Structure formats: structure tokens, C-alpha cells
Amino acid sequence: MTTKDTVYIALFAALTAALGLIPQITLATGVPITAQSMGIMLAGALLGAKRGGLAIVLFLALVAIGLPLLAGGRGGAGVFFGASGGFLLGFPIGAFVIGFLFDRHAGRPPFLLSLIYVLIGGVGVVYLLGVPWLAQVADLTLGQAFTGSIAFVPGDIIKAVLTVIIAREVRRALPDL
């Protein structure tokens, strides 16, 4: 791990925090979306598996020790025990998976494939951890917990598309990131 890797990890942890400051947008369906999870997707797509995953681990570590960095100014260890704790745990793993999939390509993967990668890691993995956790904490069945979460998926898809557009342009400008 070089100094540059350490700095990039810190940069994307900070970017994820900064994206949480953007006021949330409420979709037509009444579901709020925040820009924060784009930080997770960008970290994976731009930094790769190891650095991207560590960036999000670092972000969550700072949240856990009490910095109010989650969207809406939340922070502290409590958020991990709440209903959305599983989604938070899914963040670094999702970033890692996105990075892992991108790392398999020497250059930039094609647009559609990139989008699939971001959706697998940034949505698939995150819900895979988030939904069962929610079911456990709230004593719901998996089906009930999933139905309760599905309203957030359209927002996540929009963020995945934005992430892919941004990541492709940034990689074009900085090929040896």
C-alpha cells in the first residue's frame, strides 16, 4: 500500500461523507433518496476492490465513533443497531464487489457492463445484507422486509447510472488512477 493509496482511500471516505450533506430529494413515490450511496458506488468503480472497500470501511468507522456523517447528520454506534444497520454493513462489501468486478478489466468496461457491475455491488449486495437484517431487527419475514425496502430501488438505479457516467469520464481523464 503506497502513500497515494492511503490518500485515495481517505479522499473517497471524505467524498462519501460530503455527498451525505446534499439535501435528500423526494421522488414522486414519496421515498427520499440521498446522494450518499453514490460515494460507495464511485469508490468501488474508481478505486477497485481493496482501496474502494477500505474507503467505505473508513467512512463507517468514523460514523461509528460518533461523527455525524451519515445523510441527515446521523452518526454514532447506534445507527448500526438500527433498522438500516444491515444496509450500512452492505456498503463496504458492495464497494468491494463493484471494485472486484471492475478490476477484472484492463481498461474501462463497456457502459452496460459497468452499469450491471454497479447494480450488483451497489444494490444487490447491499440489499442482500440489508433486508435480512431489517427482518431480524423488526421481527418481520424476509418478504415483508423486502416489500418495505423496494421503494428505494428506483433511486438506487438512478444513482448507479450517474455513477457509471462519472466513473467512465474520470477514468478517461485519469487512466492510471
Partner 1 sequence: MLDLYQAGTSPVHMLKPGWKILCLAAVGSALFAVDHIGFSTAMLAATLVLYRIAGLPLSRAWGQIRPAVWVFGLIFAAQVIFNSWIIGLYVLIRLAVLLMLAGLLTLTTRSSDMIDGINAGLGPLRRIGVNPERVSLAISLTLRFIPVLSHVVHDVREAQRARGLDRNILSLAIPAIIRTIRMADEVSDAIDARGS
Among the listed residues 113, 115, 151, 162, the single contact to partner 1 using CB under 8 A: 162
Residue 75's contacts (CB-CB under 8 Å, 6 or more residues apart) are 63, 66, 67, 68, 69
Q: Is-contact 125 93, C-beta < 8 A?
A: yes
Given CA atoms 19, 23, 27, 31 in this order, what sign does their dihedral have? positive
**Nearest to 8, CA basis, from 40, 54, 41:** 54
Options 93-101, 115-123, 150-158, 163-171: segment touching partner 1 (CB under 8 A) = 163-171
Regarding 110 and contact with partner 1 (CB under 8 A), the answer is no
Regarding 170 and contact with partner 1 (CB under 8 A), the answer is yes
Options 81-89, 102-110, 119-127, 150-158: segment touching partner 1 (CB under 8 A) = 81-89
Q: How far is the CB of 166 from partner 1 (least distance, A)?
A: 6
Q: How far is the CB of 61 from partner 1 (least distance, A)?
A: 7
- Cell numbers found for residue 118: 454497479
**Nearest to 91, CA basis, from 34, 154, 165:** 34
**Contacts of partner 1 in 115-144 (CB under 8 A):** 137-141, 144
Alpha-helical regions (H) of 20-152:
36-64, 78-81, 85-103, 111-119, 126-138, 142-149
Name the residues that contact partner 1, by CB under 8 A.
1-4, 6-11, 13-15, 17-19, 21-22, 42, 58-59, 61-62, 65-69, 72, 74-84, 137-141, 144, 148, 162, 165-166, 169-170, 173-174, 177
